[in-house]
Structure 1
Amino acid sequence: MWNEIKRIADEASNVSKYVFEKDNAVVEAVLYKYPDYQTRTVICCSTQSGCPIGCRFCGSGDYFVRSLTTEEIVSQPVRCIEDTGIDPATMGRLQIMFMSMGEPMLNMKALGPAIRELHMRYPKAALLVSTSAPRVDYWPITKLSEEVPTVGLQFSVHESTDEARNALIPFEKKLTLKEIAGTGFRWYMQTGRKPFFNYCAHDANSTPEDADRLLALFDPNLWCATVSVICERQEWLPTSNDHQRGLASDFASKLVERGYDTRMFDPAGQDTIGGGCGQLWFVQDWMRSHPEQARPSIGCGKPSVHVPIIPVPA
């Protein structure tokens, strides 16, 4: 299926980045072990080659090639799990997260069947869909989450006001924070499982007032919180530095004080092999050298891809 698969490992950080390449697309996946694959294996895989959303903290926002097929999505965690050498049925915890490259909700046609196949292959695996909340119909993911009980849903909120979020995520046809809260509430009512909101803590959005605004939107009885360390994307700037880690930890504490079940996402290998959000430098080079396939995303100029937008049901 793929012409070439590269694995770039950071053994010190227990993480490996995979680059899957063919003539008309390139994607990446990340494989983590905590502290070993037997105890806990985490895989971040892609749903698109590049991304049309254009989030300014993520390298995937620069270019968009195309959506992946079901087979292309499934092949990423399958290859990663094979490389662990561990029987997935015996793993203490296996998590497959659709949050590497691409916007999952803009490729539900392929992602839905991929989730069903992965659930059949790995019935114990947690399958987390992380979305930047484009304005589409969320009923299909809700019905799929009822059908597959291991599906989780996370919204990339990242800011406590719509104004700040619009600057960070320039894609115009997306849900407002209030609409995200309502969509997550409906998902919770249908599935009985708490959705997550993901927040990217930085110097300008980590005050008690920011935490209070989130509390007014997202009921901690219905929502869990993730605070991300990574908010920068310059290749020359170390991202998982002590300052940002301290900001994320401090803001996570603020959310805990307000009643949230909170976790902090501090991806291993971010500075060495691009272990968190954003493309590996090899992938960035591929995008720049294939202008016939890799079109600039919305955040880097005029929209270059037609994305069908469906009204959100009341």
Structure 2
Amino acid sequence: MNQNKVALKNFTEEELKEFMKTIGEKSFRGSQIYSWIYKGAKSFDDMNNIPKSLRDKLDEVSYIGNLEIELKLESKKDGTKKYLFLLNDENIIETVMMDYESRVTVCISNQVGCRMGCKFCASTIDGLLRNLEPWEILDQIIKIQEDTGKRVSNLVLMGSGEPLDNFENTKKFLKLVNDKNGLNIGYRHITLSTCGIAPKMRELADLEIPINLALSLHSPYDDKRQEIMPVAKAYPVKDIIDACKYYIKKTNRRVTFEYSLIKGVNDSEKDAEAICKLVKGILCHVNLIPINNVEERDFERPDKSYIYKFRDVLEKNNIPATVRISMGSDIGGACGQLRRKHK
């Protein structure tokens, strides 16, 4: 593909109207094309109320931006679907759809791979290849809606990649996905998960958009957290907790602390008591995640008795806590199992 061409799916409606003016066209054409994009147009020839001369011009300077479904897997356990999407550069990203009775949630990827290095996560195994553009993040949702015929109501930015390491593209994606004439997914139905890049957490807070923030905590102790998550060497626990407090102050939204339970590493009652002291008085919720199998890693999930004992310590200290139900583990679609591939 010509690198000088622009992806129209990267534009808001207003930006598309302005783009039309830059190529010598009337701005209202931008609204028409924007409408076609969200009706699922795959090529300019699908846009039958656009003059052929303009379609030809658009073909010279732009492309719509379409991912291809390379493979779709469905869990025999719980019906979770995992999509492997083929990018224009032959790389493959993974996206998961969870169909609950009350909502359809999609877990989207933000980067091709990841450079954060978390020891329990498959996404980091081959490192980071590149950031996804806003349209590549957005189109995961569009293609799943087209494939299933179901409206996606909730989003979690918890697939491959660290959203705050791709901050500008994530910011633009959030604007696009919320647009009332686009997918119109409400900010309160979007959760962004971060491993704790404290300065970017503050920048996100300053945007004052009321999305939900989930922090991957995984240990209350700096030394142990650094063993599990190399990024913690740059951002100590105190810094990320302060950033969470700042986020709550700016957005008035509760923060979720994600805590992957690893057998013999961070699953003791002492760890649970330390978590209670750390988050006491913070508007928060703790989501306990028994780790899922990743074949290249040797971490194991704790026995159920340890998992629920850990939760009970939190609840006795008035810290709201839940144990995440693992979905899609038989198709490599559960938390920590998504990874990058190449065709």
TM range (shorter): 0.7 to 0.9
Q: Does structure 1 conserve the Cα–Cα contact (< 8 Å) formed by 2:257 and 2:287? A: yes
1:171 maps to: 231
Partner residue, 1:271: 330
Q: Per the alignment, in what secondary structure is the counterpart of residue 12 of structure 1?
A: coil
Per the TM alignment, residue 225 of structure 1 is displaced from its structure 2 partner at its CA by 0.7
Q: Supply the distance in 2 between the matched residues of 1:220 and 1:10 (Cα, whole angstroms).
A: 39
Distance 1:24 1:86, change over 3 A: closer
Query: Which residue number in structure 1 is paired with residue 250 of structure 2?
Result: 190
Amino acid across the alignment from 1:223: C
Q: Secondary structure at the match of 2:218?
A: coil
Paired residue for 1:72?
136
Report the Cα offset of residue 206 of structure 1.
Answer: 2.0
Asked if the contact 2:222/2:232 (under 8 Å) is kept, the reply is no
Does the CA-based 8 Å contact 2:269-2:309 persist in structure 1?
A: no
Give distance in 2, aligned partners of 1:45 and 1:30. Answer: 7
Corresponding residue for residue 40 of structure 2: none
Alignment of 1:289-308 (within 5 A): none
Q: Deviations over 1:142-191 (max 9, x none)?
A: 133x2x33x10011011121111111112365321111111000111111
Which secondary structure does the structure 2 equivalent of 1:138 belong to?
helix
Among candidates 193, 196, 199, match of residue 136 of structure 1: 199
Inter-partner Cα distance in structure 2 for 1:278 and 1:12: 16
Q: 1:186 to 1:18 in 2, by over 3 A?
A: same
* Alignment of 1:117 onto 2:179: no
Whole-Å separation in 1 of the counterparts to 2:311 and 2:202 = 30
> Are the structure 2 counterparts of residues 167 and 191 from structure 1 closer, same or farther at C-alpha, using a change threshold of 3 Å?
same
Structure 1 residue 71 displacement after superposition: 0.3
Q: What do residues 46-67 of structure 1 show as CA deviations (whole Å, max 9, x unaligned)? A: 1101000111100111122101
Is residue 29 from structure 1 mapped to residue 81 from structure 2 by the alignment? no
Q: Structure 1 residue 11: deviation in Å?
A: 4.2
> How far did residue 212 of structure 1 move?
1.8
Residues matched between the structures, number: 271
CA deviation after TM superposition for structure 1 residue 231, in Å: 5.2
Partner of 1:54: 117
Tell me what 1:17 maps to.
82
Give the alignment partner of residue 271 of structure 2, picking from 201, 205, 210: 210
- Give the TM-score, by structure 2 length: 0.72
Alpha carbons 2:272, 2:313 under 8 Å: kept = yes
Moved more, 124-133 or 177-186: 124-133
Contact 2:158/2:192 (<8 A) preserved: yes
C-alpha spacing 1:13/1:235, structure 2 compared with 1 (3 Å)? farther
User: C-alpha distance in 1, partners of 2:214/2:193?
Assistant: 5
2:285 aligns to what? Answer: 224
| Equivalent of residue 161 in structure 1, options 221, 226, 248 | 221
Q: Please report the RMSD computed on the Cα atoms of aligned residues, expressed in angstroms.
A: 2.4
Q: In the alignment, is residue 81 of structure 1 matched against residue 150 of structure 2?
A: no
Q: Which amino acid aligns with 2:107?
A: C
- Report the alpha carbon displacement of residue 237 of structure 1 after superposing the two structures with TM: 8.2
Go from structure 1 to structure 2 and tell me whether the alpha carbon gap of 1:4 and 1:16 turns closer, same or farther (over 3 Å shift). closer
Higher relative contact order (CA 8 A, sep 6+): 1
Find the aligned partners of 1:166 and 1:107 in 2 and give their Cα distance: 22
List gaps (5 residues or longer) in structure 1.
89-93, 290-314
User: Percent identity, aligned pairs only?
Assistant: 23
Amino acid at match of 1:213: A
Matches of 1:212 and 1:238, distance apart in 2: 22
Q: Distance in 2 between matches of 1:128 and 1:59?
A: 20
> What is the Cα deviation at residue 248 of structure 1?
2.8
- Taking a change above 3 Å as real, the CA distance of residues 231 and 257 of structure 1, as seen in their structure-2 partners, is farther
Distance 2:134 2:145 in 1: 17
8 A contact 2:75–2:81 mirrored in 1? yes
Structure 2 vs 1, CA of residues 12 and 216 (structure 1 numbering), >3 Å: closer, same or farther? closer
Q: What's the secondary structure of 2:230's corresponding residue?
A: coil
